[in-house]
Amino acid sequence: MRLLNKIAFITGGGRGIGREIALAFAREGADVAVAARTQSEVETVAKEVQGLGRRGMAVRLDLTNRANIRQAVKTVLDHFGRVDILVNNAGVLSKGPVHTLDEETWDFTLAINLTGIFLVTQSLLGQMLERGWGRIININSSSGKIGLPYRSAYAASKHGALGFMRSLASEVADKGITVNAICPGLVDTQMWDTSVENFAAEMGKTPEEAREMFRQRIPVKRFTEAWELAPLAVYLASDDAISMTGQAIQLDGGFLQS
């Protein structure tokens, strides 16, 4: 029970990586607010958290809507009284060559993957500073460190999010708050399924052929499963990680070495 009685807020907690982190946190004794747009998904995960004997709360959150972000954070703080652990996990992947990429796609991607992280973090930081304890974990990507053709908005948002993470980590390092990022490679989730279909169409291959091509590029020759990210998130959220801050940790089957 490494997170006993901690309160966690997880954006994009309704499925994929966020759901696995929500359930792992609950198993370690945390109460969890699960936030995203799809009400049925966040409600299901909140019930799963309750099934593990912890308080689980479903919150509607749309990171493109500032009023909704403020409302969601207020709802969670009114309900739980505080948030100790923030996981900025929600994200979207967009595509398109730069010369035809429309501004809406650029703005939408950065709103969720970058500005959304800033807004949610800022709205929860004050109460962490007051208590002198906090854990902020951002789910980033290998695309936060390297460029990816036809995925410029995604890569720019993830690079920006790492800059934000490192700056904030420096700001609050002596205030009991750690700020880190986990950088997955290719994780078997809905996002990757959609992505494979898009890559396949771009390359004139079947989704199966595209999937196999990407699998061959991963040194361990397998995609990461969403649950594999959860133990690292538990560690980063725990008291054990007091000296771990400002880090962008790869968990990608050996794709990028540090």
Ligand X SMILES: NC(=O)c1ccc[n+]([C@@H]2O[C@H](COP(=O)([O-])OP(=O)(O)OC[C@H]3O[C@@H](n4cnc5c(N)ncnc54)[C@H](OP(=O)(O)O)[C@@H]3O)[C@@H](O)[C@H]2O)c1
| Residue 75: half-sphere exposure toward Cβ, Cα within 13 Å | 15
Footprint of ligand X (CB under 6 A) = 11-12, 14-18, 36-38, 41, 61-64, 89-92, 112, 139, 141, 184, 186-187, 189-192
Cβ nearer to ligand X, comparing 94 with 245? 94
Query: How far apart, in whole angstroms, are the C-alpha atoms of residue 117 and residue 9?
Result: 12
Edge-first strand listing for the sheet containing 177-184 = 56-60, 31-36, 7-11, 85-88, 134-139, 177-184, 248-251
**Amino acid present at 151:** R
In the complex, least distance from residue 76 CB atom to ligand X, rounded to whole angstroms: 14
Query: How far apart, in whole angstroms, are the C-alpha atoms of residue 11 and residue 19?
Result: 10
With residue 7 as reference, give the H or E element that holds it.
strand 7-11
Cβ nearer to ligand X, comparing 120 with 168? 120
In the complex, least distance from residue 5 CB atom to ligand X, rounded to whole angstroms: 25
In the complex, least distance from residue 87 CB atom to ligand X, rounded to whole angstroms: 10
Which of 154, 164, 192, 199 is catalytic? The answer is: 154
154 is annotated as an active-site residue = yes
Angle between helices 39-51 and 16-27 (to 10 degrees): 20
Residue 34 pairs in a beta bridge with 10, 58
Cβ nearer to ligand X, comparing 123 with 141? 141
Cβ nearer to ligand X, comparing 130 with 208? 208
In the complex, least distance from residue 68 CB atom to ligand X, rounded to whole angstroms: 8
Active site residues: 154
